[in-house]
Structure 1
């Protein structure tokens, strides 16, 4: 898309950005320099339904109505300046079934849903896991739609037979709004059904789960237009806007925090955690332990994801009856690294990177009569940091070079002790992004590039000006190496025992 496609591509033009996560959704208006317009940011909570058997779902109607309500709010305060485009970041790995009339046959199944773990061994018999990983950049793991499709087909035949189309939540929104939808390259790349060389659906994988390409949306990054009459009346300010297919929220988080290019590595800790490298160029063959997704056809995203982040720390605080993290900062900082002697495997929702043992569960070792709840919490913070060290070393081996580590996400930026623990464990300086809504702003910046209003690098990289930098304490390095060694020893025992 070039600037000539629109008559208002100067400073007077605006873009509407959406960021839809599993715990909340946000919307705001940005100007052509990527600056958020004051008073336009709106938020809505999302209600993730969990169950004892590992379910983690969202209600598609409820979530769609919440997103549409956010759009109502932000355009009501945008004024008369034209909104040129709508860009959207949404959570990767979602899956939703639709019947022939477009009605949902399932809830929105999220990455945190682990119920598909029981069909992964069967799926591994049908597909060579290593060859599948090389082609798709993903894993035969319950966090991916590929496993959830196999699970639904095996255990819910009535749903499977009623479902004529499988989509991500972002595609469902476009079907509501326009009556048609494509699956962006970015969203397709996180399904485990996408072939990185052809940029199309991976036929061997589709065959293994019993799908035809016609049951999935076409893959493409072209904007949509022509709002349905109901929505055109509701959003007259958006009838001429270009609506761009959604990008993965992780990729947008890199962009919004300024982590664009091979010399900048994003470390994000929100509800969950991730470490990602995003750049323009040819992707490498994904090494074991890491995944490979895309922002678009030109930009790969290499990294690893943890199911643990703020959710794990919140669980520890709640179950061990601890005060808020804000109240505990001074006491946590006074603890010496590893002095508690505890070892956590923090897999409350199974392991993702780097071992991808979906069946693994959290384990705490080393408890004694003098162990305190504060020590359990400090050990939990250190345990997640050690998992990130493993991911960091794999990324460094795959794409060598010096780089700045950019920290983002409320779980990290709002927890100074954890940020210091991360820097100490990694042995690298950590620049904390000053951008509180990285994925949201990232969606706006990618939209601006698509409009021809600047290169992504020029728009994104200045985001780190004035970032607070945390320096690692070299005296703590031996303690973290010892903690990592103990954690890996416990990991091998637990995995070999099938626990």
Structure 2
């Protein structure tokens, strides 16, 4: 949830070298030592590397990074995630299969590393957050891996809201009562599968499960991943006692808590044989993928706001300290012990466009992009609530459903696509208003995610709707880059999260006339929301 994952069906289709300086031809004498050194490039001469693993909702990726957080060409490996939506509102995966896919990605990265494998100093890990599964006494999964996209716990959100002071829970944990978070989903599981709950010895998230399998022993969960669960008291940095009591969940059934900087060493025997170069290096505790994305995009303080649109979306800022007040519509998670990630996340993103491509049978992305650029802003007479998978920020209405108002016989499929992309952008604008008091007066908006990377139209639309320039990085795999940076900081090689600044370029400038049109459309969407969903 923290994060905005890419979807290959989204707009556009360009690709770029993540390190263009390594792609230039060597113009010197082909056989000279100087030419050979130049051809090898700076990464070939790097002294040490970290292995960064990005375990997301759509894919598992891994790569080596040098001490300047540059991806080592040829080491990137990926595999599809086993997490999939299931009929009836479920969204779950096979936890054992997830670990196997992570293992295979590590196999491929280490094979690609060659002689450099012996210079890997640590492993960093980011994971899709808000997951949990039950394990037996040996750490073997006995339940599916339940994820944030599962909305079967809607009745349990209502029940918890009656049983608890919802506002107090919100401020203690930084999370509202919602189906995306563990409290409601655990209550649903206990209500619907009581025997399964009784048979589980412990409850682990995806990252802690991976550590448990690799080391063969219990390992803590980071404050970062725990903060995404909705069970962490962010002021005490302990599991929330009231929530555990209401849920009938023992504290010793959850992992102990620690900063991600704790890096267990000493892989289990089978894994030490499989990856001898990693057998005694620290494997740092997992962090939330949204936290890693912020760090990787250079958004590590109130001077930069991270805008991510992939399959889903997010808008986030890193703040010093751990206890800012959380305005309704936002959430507050942790990066490390001493940094808060404040923001909002959206179920709607590139998934809306992908769904409409399938349902409306519109042309390919390149043709759509060309047509959308010619259409006037908000010129279709439509008002859209884009909640094809429920709502997270800012209304947190898990039961919300999509709505299109204003359809007529003259409405075209591409107008519906345009209105939907505008509607998704309006949700970001509402969260941006809530975040503005926490931002530096002169801040930048840094965009990432496949949906925006592939669509100059949508990037410009975001600039117009937010009324701010949009900056992008030429680098790819920013989430993995952030995980690498966090690993280097844990090793003491980086003293801060921005020792090496990320080069950015402007990708969209707001047009005042279009911005005015969109502000009126945002107000119209808010009125429709109040009529259809309430609030």
Q: Could you tell me the TM-score, scaled by structure 1's length?
A: 0.95
Is residue 2:298 matched to residue 1:261?
no
Mapped to 1, the partners of 2:505 and 2:323 lie a distance apart of: 29
Whole-Å Cα distance in 2 between the matches of residues 398 and 30 of structure 1?
Answer: 32
What aligned pairs does 1:26-425 form with structure 2 within 5 A after superposition? 26-81=61-116, 82-179=119-216, 180-221=218-259, 222-399=262-439, 401-425=441-465
What is the root-mean-square deviation of aligned Cα atoms in Å?
A: 1.4
Q: CA deviation at 1:111?
A: 1.2
Greater shift, 340-349 or 230-239, is seen at 340-349
Between the aligned partners of 2:293 and 2:103, the Cα distance in structure 1 is 22
Aligned residues between the structures = 486
Unaligned 5+ residue runs, structure 2? 1-44
**1:27 and 1:41 in contact (8 A); partners too:** yes
Aligned to 1:438: 478
**Do 1:57 and 1:107's aligned partners in 2 also have CA atoms closer than 8 Å?**
yes
* CA distance in structure 2 between the partners assigned to 1:283 and 1:265 by the alignment: 19
The C-alpha deviation readout for 1:427-477, integer Å capped at 9, x for no partner, is: 0001012222111110001100111112333335x11x2423310111112
Equivalent-residue separation in structure 2 for 1:79 and 1:456 (angstroms): 30
SS at match of 1:175: helix
Post-superposition CA distance 1:323-365 (Å, at most 9, x none): 2222211101111111001111111111100111111111111
Quick check: 2:90–2:152 contact (8 Å CA) kept in 1?
A: yes
Structure-2 change in CA distance of 1:134 and 1:152 (3 Å): same
Asked if structure 2 preserves the Cα contact closer than 8 Å seen for 1:136 and 1:189, the reply is yes
Which of 505, 525, 529 is 1:487 aligned to? Answer: 525
- Cα distance in 2, alignment partners of residues 39 and 494 from structure 1: 51
Distance 1:458 1:209 in 2: 40
- Relative distance call for 1:474 and 1:454 in structure 2 (3 A) is same
Moved more, 42-51 or 80-89: 42-51
2:27 maps to what in 1? none
Distance 1:481 1:411 in 2: 23
**Conservation of the 8 A alpha-carbon contact between 2:319 and 2:342:** no
Work out the CA distance in 2 between the residues paired with 1:273 and 1:321: 24
Q: Matches of 2:54 and 2:232 in 1, distance apart? A: 23
SS at match of 2:69: coil
Give the secondary structure class of the aligned counterpart of 1:115. Answer: coil
Aligned twin of 1:5: none
State the 4+ residue runs in structure 1 displaced beyond 6 angstroms.
none
Q: Which moved more, 1:368-377 or 1:56-65?
A: 56-65
**TM-score, normalised by the number of residues in structure 2:** 0.89
- Work out the CA distance in 2 between the residues paired with 1:49 and 1:305: 19
